[in-house]
């Protein structure tokens, strides 16, 4: 007779990342854990929505940078649809740059793609159990924000859309390229850019790029 542990249901996982090799690595790691089963992969937000509509999914491992939509925008859409769904954001963006925004958008945790495999699995176990996964560094950052909101840096005061625009400009994208990726008009992006420059008290894209580099806001490069 099989033990109860042997027939215990596994948490069903959807991996959303636009890099095939990253998805393959995450699938191999997660499927080795008897508590989880990867039932689908998606490289775009559209594919992710398709899998969510057609499969019972418990946990999503979600990248922020997707080719057709920002990961946080996708997160904000799916959370009201499936409130019990657990989402772990996994990104090359530094945790302090996007971690708090991800939690505010409804994520149960945020982890770097450069994290050790054991850390990734530990984070998945925590959020699957209904807990939040927050690293000690992010927890300290959250504590400082609560204690002194006046000490927030300019980029921390931006809305999610303005912050997305900042990062894309800093990455060298043109207004038309940003508009295409965010599915907005060039006129709207130009308006965001003007407001962004005003809020950041800067004059041009070069200053925005310099600021992003100095504050390590751009995704880390895997070497």
CATH class label, 153-214: mainly alpha
CA 16 → CA 28, 67, 97, 111, distances in Å?
14, 11, 20, 14
Task: Tell me if 101 sits within 8 A of 141, measured CB to CB.
Answer: no
Task: Give the count of beta carbons closer than 10 Å to the beta carbon of residue 103.
Answer: 18
Which pLDDT does position 7 carry in this prediction? 60
- Cα(51)–Cα(48) distance, integer angstroms: 5
Joined together, the tokens standing for residue 132 give 């939040």
DSSP per residue over the chain, as a string? ---TTTTPPPEEEEEE-S-HHHHHHHHHHHHTSTTEEEEEEESSHHHHHHHHHHS--SEEEE-SB-SSSBHHHHHHHHHHH-TT-EEEEEESS-HHHHHHHHHHHT-SEEEETTS-HHHHHHHHHHHHTT--B--HHHHHHHHHHHH-GGG--GGGGS-HHHHHHHHHHHTT--HHHHHHHHT--HHHHHHHHHHHHHHHT--SHHHHHHHHHHTT-SPPPP-
Which pLDDT does position 130 carry in this prediction? 93
- Cα(39)–Cα(15) distance, integer angstroms: 9
Joined together, the tokens standing for residue 21 give 């090799």
Fold that domain 11-143 belongs to in CATH: Rossmann fold (3.40.50)
Closest CA to 121 of 138, 133, 107, 137: 133
- Rama region for 122: left / alpha / beta (φ>0; ψ in -120 to 50; rest): alpha
CA geometry: angle 144, 145, 146, nearest 5 deg: 90
Task: Give the count of beta carbons closer than 10 Å to the beta carbon of residue 100.
Answer: 17
Where do the structural domains in the chain lie, given as residue ranges?
11-143, 153-214
For each successive 10 residues of the chain (223 residues), what is the average pLDDT?
58 96 95 95 96 95 91 91 92 78 91 90 95 82 61 79 89 90 87 90 91 81 39
- Cα(82)–Cα(74) distance, integer angstroms: 12
The answer to whether 11-143 and 153-214 have equal CATH topology is no
Which pLDDT does position 149 carry in this prediction? 56
């Amino acid at each position: 007779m099989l033990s109860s542990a042997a027939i215990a249901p596994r948490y069903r996982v959807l991996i959303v990342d636009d890099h095939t090799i990253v998805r393959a690595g995450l699938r191999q790691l997660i499927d080795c854990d008897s508590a989880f089963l990867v039932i689908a992969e998606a490289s775009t937000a559209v594919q992710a929505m398709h899998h969510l509509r057609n499969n019972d999914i418990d946990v999503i491992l979600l990248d922020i940078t997707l080719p057709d939509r920002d990961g946080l925008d996708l997160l904000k859409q799916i959370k009201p649809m499936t409130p019990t769904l657990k989402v772990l954001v996994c990104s090359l963006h530094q945790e302090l740059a996007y971690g708090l925004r991800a939690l505010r958008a409804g994520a149960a945790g945020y982890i770097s793609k450069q994290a050790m495999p054991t850390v990734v699995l530990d984070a998945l176990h925590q959020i699957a159990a209904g807990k939040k996964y927050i690293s000690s560094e992010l927890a300290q950052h959250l504590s400082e924000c609560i204690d002194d909101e006046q000490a927030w840096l300019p980029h921390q005061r931006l809305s999610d859309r303005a912050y997305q625009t900042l990062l894309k400009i800093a990455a060298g994208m043109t207004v038309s390229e940003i508009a295409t990726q965010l599915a907005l008009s060039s006129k709207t992006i130009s308006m965001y850019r003007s407001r962004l420059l005003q809020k950041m008290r800067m004059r041009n894209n070069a200053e925005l790029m310099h600021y992003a580099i100095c504050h390590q806001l751009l995704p880390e490069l895997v070497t």
